[in-house]
Amino acid sequence: MKPKLLFINNMAAPYQVKFCYALQDYFEAEMWFYTHLESNRPKWWSIPLGDKCKVLEGSKFHPILNYSNPNLLSKTKDFDPDIVVAGGFFFPSQWQVKNWCKKNGKTYIALGERISYVGYSKMGRLIKSLIKKCSAFLYKDIDLFLAMGEKPMEQAINEFGLSREKVVLARYPQDIDTNLTHSLRETTKAPVIIFPNRLDKSYNPLFALEVFRVFNEKYPNSVLKMNELGEMKEACIDFINKSNLSDNVQFLNGITSWDDLPSVYKEAHIGLFTATDSNGPNSLIECMASGTGIVLSDQIYNTEVYCKHDLNCYRLPLEVSKFVNALENYVLIDGLLKSHGKISKELVSERSVINTAKFYADIINNYHQR
């Protein structure tokens, strides 16, 4: 009989829903979400949940603390899983689930990213720091911590005080099967550059536009396609108009479903990632699986395994001239797009939904069966 697994997540992202069904090969699994979609996600992210994924009614969102749900513990008891995998240290109601697991001989596994203080006020940083210390105490007896990258792995050990034996380097599932079938790109003087991240301050879209403005002076037939959502869209439109780039910059506003996304990457030659602080966006791996060239900021963390400077991408400090030179390399060096794209596909293929389900099953069963 397969072990019974409960996976708790914040939001029903399409790749998580698909991941739940891939896990059925190894577990009797259900995935529960605090909300179907968060407000900063487009409506086309919503896909059918099927019978194994559920949105918890009565969930509430709290600034800094994140989500809670008064019914989570009772529903967990009713489901009676052998294993719980829960995303987020800071979610208040998950502490009760952890205690129930420890009391009843169940396996409790936490999952998390690097905790960043960027964008918080001085008081917000203080409160979050105190919550982090409290969480480190309350969750010190978890069975395992799945770190979503090298930085959160270091943080779990050095700041949360978890033993190295309890911390495992893991990853998110990526819905990239279609992208991996895309053909490698030909060298061109009219590249399509994609900026797939939200137009939010941390993703630095105005820097990306300045890079493109300079690049476009040399290569006037180039095109930049940008995400259409985010708090800085008006500022981006203003920049585009003032720089006379309206014929060369397009917003990705024709997407109507999650399944439209692969075709967006297929049309691009280069992915541009200019974040000032990021745990590593899914869109980066989606670009790489498709085979685009990659130019990214050195402030994007947890990407060292698959983003190797000069081998399959350009990983650079946030200097306009360096980014422009990297984009130009993809135009001037014949075959560079193909060679980088080929290596990128190889490096991220293991991160597909199906491969990641097996990866998680190996980790979880290795611990659970001790």
Write the DSSP symbol of residue 312: T
- Per-residue pLDDT at 120 exceeds 70: no
Question: Collapsing DSSP states into helix, strand and coil, what is residue 119?
Answer: coil
Adjacent-strand bridge partners of 224: 193, 249
* pLDDT value for 125: 67
For residues 256 and 141, membership in a common domain is answered with no
Query: Which range (70-79, 136-145, 169-178) has the least confidence?
Result: 136-145
Phi, psi of 69 (to 5 degrees): -150, 125
For residues 144 and 258, membership in a common domain is answered with no
Structure tokens at 249: 């910059």
* pLDDT value for 133: 76
CB 192 within 8 A of CB 271: no
CB 76 within 8 A of CB 3: no
CB 296 within 8 A of CB 315: yes
**Beta-sheet pairing, 223-226 with 249-251:** parallel
CB 155 within 8 A of CB 302: no
- Per-residue pLDDT at 50 exceeds 70: yes
For residues 60 and 97, membership in a common domain is answered with yes
Q: Which whole number is the average pLDDT over 250-270?
A: 95
Tell the residue number behind the tokens 């014949």, with chain if given.
Answer: 334
For residues 121 and 133, membership in a common domain is answered with yes
For residues 315 and 166, membership in a common domain is answered with no
* CA gap 112, 151 in Å, rounded: 11
* CA gap 100, 95 in Å, rounded: 9
* pLDDT value for 82: 97
Q: What percent of the chain has pLDDT over 70?
A: 95
What is the domain range of residue 149?
4-173+352-368
pLDDT, one tens digit per residue, over 243-256 is 999 999 999 988 99
For residues 107 and 201, membership in a common domain is answered with no
CB 228 within 8 A of CB 251: yes
* CA gap 353, 172 in Å, rounded: 9
* CA gap 251, 225 in Å, rounded: 6
For residues 147 and 185, membership in a common domain is answered with no
Instruction: Supply the CATH number for residue 92's domain.
Output: 3.40.50.2000
* pLDDT value for 138: 79
CB 300 within 8 A of CB 278: yes
For residues 248 and 269, membership in a common domain is answered with yes
For residues 148 and 255, membership in a common domain is answered with no
**CA angle at 31 for the pair 26 and 32, rounded to the nearest 5°:** 160
Q: Which whole number is the average pLDDT over 325-348?
A: 99
- Per-residue pLDDT at 128 exceeds 70: no
pLDDT, one tens digit per residue, over 81-94 is 999 999 976 677 89
pLDDT, one tens digit per residue, over 94-117 is 999 999 999 999 999 999 887 765
For residues 164 and 196, membership in a common domain is answered with no
* Average pLDDT of the chain, as a whole number: 93
- Per-residue pLDDT at 118 exceeds 80: no
For residues 152 and 292, membership in a common domain is answered with no
- Per-residue pLDDT at 370 exceeds 80: no
pLDDT tier at 119 (50, 70, 90 boundaries)?
low
Sign of CA dihedral 79, 85, 91, 97: positive
Highest mean pLDDT among 39-43, 146-150, 260-264: 260-264
For residue 144, the Cα-to-chain-centroid distance in whole angstroms is: 21
Question: pTM, whole model, 2 decimals?
Answer: 0.90
pLDDT, one tens digit per residue, over 155-165 is 889 888 899 99
User: What total number of domains does the chain contain?
Assistant: 2
